[in-house]
Structure 1
Amino acid sequence: MSKAYPSNLTRAQYEFLSDMIPESKSGGRPCEVDMWEVLNAIFYVLLDGVRWRSLPGDFPAWQTVYTYFRNWRRDGTWMKIHDNLRQWTRIEEERAPSASEAIIDSQSVKSAAMVSQSVGFDTGKKIKGRKRFMTVDTLGLVLRVLVTAANVPERSGGKQVLKCVKKMGNKVSRLTTIWADGGFDGTPFMIWVMDVCRWIVQVVLRPEQTKGFVLLKKRWVVERTFGWLMGCRRLVRDYELLPETSETFIYLAMIRIMVRRLA
């Protein structure tokens, strides 16, 4: 049993997640590792931002922990858990399982020195690294996120992430409206969203001649979600060799937030 790290799941939170954890494959050796400890180790990496090899010794071996993290990324387990928790969280908030409105935005973050794949320079924000295209519902819960090089234009990345949202099928059956900022403005983008996704884009612009912080309709929700992510040291900078791994850590951050609300 590991120490009581702040990132650990409580027993109730683990029991809530346990039914969604894949069972061990039949025919092999019985699973000897405690899955509660594996999850605690993964969340420790997420919140404290340590390298896999730097996991404290009271967790299972880092190779074992990383293997579960990687395999569940590849087979869609993390995505399945995330989507289930999002629907349950919406029901808990007395909302329909499918959102009718979504907000889209992007966040550019610096990448670590050893990261070379899908890295670019965002000339607007003067950041070399990656860009996170985020779609959230009106509660701030993530629908889909796409991590690209930071030099990918807003409308181009927006199309890619909205395609991912469209593929969710019945999980977004009520979705009709996408709220966005000026970066996603423009008739060609709006027509594309209407033709391909059958949704309407509503652009909320910052009032002219305003200075400092301004609370903008709907757009503040996705900014709050970005703030939630910054509570995880692993997400303050992009340390991942693969952009898909960066996406998985974002879903993991949301899984931790939602399970703490539900359990």
Structure 2
Amino acid sequence: MIVDAQSVKTTDLTKNSGYDGGKKISGIKRHMAVDINGLPQAILVTRANVSDRSGALAMLSLASQNLELVQHVMVDGGYTGNDFADQMKLILNAKTTVAKRNELHMFTVLPQRWIIERSWSWLDKCRRLWKNCERALNSSLQMVVLAFLKMFLKDTRQVLRLSSKLYSRTNSIGCQENCPSQ
């Protein structure tokens, strides 16, 4: 499992916004844990002034019953520290690995880290999620969930179309003795 956070700007209408001093963004922060396929396993939306570590621990403690089988968690440099690793061991009973950046500060693709970055880019394609316009944090969380559901339904529809084409092609060839439809 891979854990990361994303800071998002908010409009003037929102009540629950904070200031992320590291990224200099006034808004909210989305914390997300994804599996190896980039599918979300836990999501939490907080004010931007919540640290990555405390937001990730809160998110994983809320979803710990659904994450019992997780054995390994990969995080980036914002989650360093023995306290964080110890808390992760208590919450999930999982080993924590910190992905190190290149010392030369040049762009390199870190193994496995691109998976969560791909998930963030999926969310960035949704117009409602470029900037947070929701007044409540729960509404913002539900918009993230709806964006992932829309994406999954679109993929499922494409898989069903492909399987129906394959099924019609096999029926036109003719069914053999071991065909399950007889």
Aligned counterpart in structure 1 of residue 33 of structure 2, from 112, 121, 135: 135
TM-score (norm 2): 0.83
Aligned equivalents of 2:108, 2:12: Cα separation in 1: 34
* Structure 1 unaligned regions, length at least 5: 1-101
Aligned equivalents of 1:196, 1:133: Cα separation in 2: 16
Q: CA deviation at 1:196?
A: 2.4
Q: CA deviation at 1:186?
A: 0.6
Partner of 1:174: 69
Is 1:153 the counterpart of 2:51? The answer is yes
Is 1:112 the counterpart of 2:44? The answer is no
Is 1:250 the counterpart of 2:144? The answer is yes
The letter for the 2-side match of 1:175 is: V
Runs of 4+ in 1 over 6 A off after TM superposition: none
Partner of 2:130: 236
Partner of 1:38: none
Aligned equivalents of 1:243, 1:167: Cα separation in 2: 23
Partner of 2:111: 217
Q: What CA deviation, in whole Å up to 9, does each residue of 1:204-235 have, x standing for no partner?
A: 01110132x32112111111111000111100
Q: What CA deviation, in whole Å up to 9, does each residue of 1:93-149 have, x standing for no partner?
A: xxxxxxxxx1000000101111122x1111110100000001111111111111111
TM-score (norm 1): 0.58
Q: What CA deviation, in whole Å up to 9, does each residue of 1:164-198 have, x standing for no partner?
A: 22132xxx342111110011111001011112221
Q: How does 1:68-83 map to 2 (within 5 A)?
A: none
Greater strand content: 2
* Structure 2 unaligned regions, length at least 5: 158-182
Of structures 1 and 2, the larger Rg is shown by: 2
Partner of 1:165: 63
Number of residues of Structure 1 aligned to a counterpart in Structure 2: 157
Specify the SS of the correspondent of 2:118: helix
